[in-house]
Amino acid sequence: MTKNQTEKLDKILLHPILGYLIFLLVLGLTFFLTFSIGNYPMELMEKGVNYIATLLQETIPQGFFNDLVVQGIVGGVGGVIVFLPNILILFLCISLMEESGYMSRASQLMDKFMHAIGLHGKSFAPLIMGFGCNVPAIMSTRFIEDKRDRLVTMLIIPFMSCSARLPVYIVIAGTFFPNHSTLVMLCLYVLGVILAILFALLFKKTFNKSNHVPYTLNLQEYSIPKIKAVSRTIWINCKDYLSKMAGIVLIASVVLWLLMYFPQKDTNNIEESYIAHAGKVIEPVMKPIGFDWKISVSLITGVAAKEIIISTLGVLYSDNPETSSDVLEEKLKSSCVFTPPVALSFLVFTLIYFPCTAVFAAVKKESRLKWAVFVVTYTTVVAWILSFATYHIAGLFF
């Protein structure tokens, strides 16, 4: 691309008003593609998971082991792995923005804005990375020289809606707001950004004043994204996602199923199970924001990894061991608890509350234990307050 063409594009993409509108449009298009196009391969994966569940159900002798494999493992992991296409589309869009040179323009565009909220321009890159995963985003803050800016950036990164939350958004928004699911998802991402801004301003007044170092950024040249580079990004994220399915999600699914199975040894009657007792202990705290013990349990398990929320709901709200996402949607619709106000409250809570244990560990490693505990505490408190407001305000319209 010639210098003249580059300058013409930069005048548009870096325009103080139009540039921000284009940035929002690009994000909106990303979420639309993630949600709409991703549905087709997701449906194919759902059929594959159901086929495997049915095959194992007929092959393995009936009993404890059959239930563990079909309901605990296939039902738990399968309920989450079907969202792999949506995750990959999200990372595809991010990779295309980076490889084309647009991401560096977005960083340049946001530089003045970052200073306005009391952060260094270098804070923008970790925040954008947070849309993919909060853990590497927090680790990348080590390149911010100023200690105060680095700490504030780490404290607000959890508001960036990571890809792990995406399965929850897809199921809940698609179920209760099918005609406006893309708008709901965009609003959640924007809400996260707004909260990050507000708390950055708050922390700016609370923490010691820092001396900002001028931020200089060499704009990447515009280029056609290389297939090899984009494919590599998709492959790395695919591998990471599958590794999580084979690790923490698998373990959590098995543990959850066992807690549901004992002591009554009947997953069709979970009211007396260990997991039900645990959920009912915290239900009084969650009831004002519209949550019953089942929803509360799903949020507890989501502390390990946000994807587990969906597999937990799939197990708790379904009597069918071959539960697919479609079946889960019908179960949630027929539930006397899940209503549009509860769904919105649930989405807001999922967006904000306790980041996963990996984020906790990352904050502890990059700063101190007290700040990791602070992140967990203040995000959960804010989540409860905003979910309370969302539930009761939404109740006036639904």
Tens of pLDDT, residue by residue over 247-287, are 777 887 788 788 878 887 665 667 778 888 888 999 999 99
pTM above 0.85, yes or no: no
Closest alpha carbon to 45 in 362, 380, 324? 324
Q: Indicate if the pLDDT at residue 373 is higher than 60.
A: yes
Name the band, by pLDDT with cuts 50, 70 and 90, for residue 188. Answer: very high
CA atoms of 233 and 371, how far apart (whole Å):
31
Mean predicted confidence (pLDDT) in 186-210? 87
The CA distance from 380 to 66, in Å, is 38
Give the model's confidence band at 209: pLDDT under 50 very low, under 70 low, under 90 confident, else very high: low
Burial class (CB in 10 A: 0-12, 13-18, 19+), 369: exposed
At 269 the pLDDT is 67
% of the chain exceeding 90 in pLDDT:
26
Give me the mean pLDDT over the 308-328 stretch: 67
Reading the block at residue 270, the tokens are 């979970």
Q: Are 103 and 289 in contact (CB under 8 A)?
A: no
pLDDT score for 318: 62
HEC string of the chain equals CCHHHHHHHHHHHCCCCHHHHHHHHHHHHHHHHHHHCCHHHHHHHHHHHHHHHHHHHHHCCCCHHHHHHHHHHHHHHHHHHCCHHHHHHHHHHHHHHHHHCHHHHHHHHHHHHHHHCCCCHHHHHHHHHCCCCHHHHHHHHHHCCCHHHHHHHHHHHHHCCCHHHHHHHHHHHHHHCCCCHHHHHHHHHHHHHHHHHHHHHHHHHHCCCCCCCCCCCCCCCCCCCCHHHHHHHHHHHHHHHHHHHHHHHHHHHHHHHHHHHCCCCCCCCHHHCHHHHHHHHHHHHHHHHCCCHHHHHHHHHCCCCCCHHHHHHHHHCCCCCCCCHHHHHHHHHHCCCCCHHHHHHHHHHHHHCCCCHHHHHHHHHHCCHHHHHHHHHHHHHHHHHHHHHHHHHHCCCC
Cα gap 109→346, rounded to integer Å: 33
Report pLDDT for 320: 47
Structure tokens at 335: 């539930």
Taking 60 as the threshold, does the pLDDT of residue 139 lie above it?
yes
Other beta carbons within 10 angstroms of residue 285's beta carbon come to 11
Specify whether the CB–CB gap between 81 and 53 falls below 8 A.
no
Helix 274-286, helix 250-261: angle, nearest 10: 100
CB 49 within 8 A of CB 78: yes
Torsions phi, psi of 273, nearest 5? -75, 165
Between CA 46 and CA 345 the distance in angstroms is 27
Position 87 scores a pLDDT of 79
How far apart, in whole angstroms, are the C-alpha atoms of residue 390 and residue 345?
A: 5
- Mean pLDDT in residue range 295-321: 79
- Compute the average pLDDT of residues 113-131: 78
Higher pLDDT, 36 or 265: 36
**Structure token digits, residue 101:** 């040179």
Query: Which of residues 8 and 319 earns the better pLDDT score?
Result: 8
The model's pLDDT over 66-108, given as tens digits with 9 standing for 90+, comes to 888 887 788 778 777 887 888 788 888 888 988 888 887 887 7
Whether the ω angle into residue 263 lies within 30 degrees of 0, i.e. cis, is: yes
Is residue 110 within 8 A of residue 13, CB to CB? The reply is no
Q: Residue 202 — very low, low, confident or very high, per pLDDT cuts 50/70/90? A: very high
Structural contact between residues 253 and 76, judged by C-beta atoms closer than 8 angstroms: yes
Which is nearest to 327 in space by CA: 87, 49, 58, 52? 49
Read off the tokens for 106: 């977005």
pLDDT beyond 50 at 239: yes
The answer on pLDDT for 322 being more than 50 is no
Handedness of CA 243, 98, 351, 347 (dihedral sign): negative
d(Cα 138, Cα 126) in Å, to the nearest integer?
Answer: 7
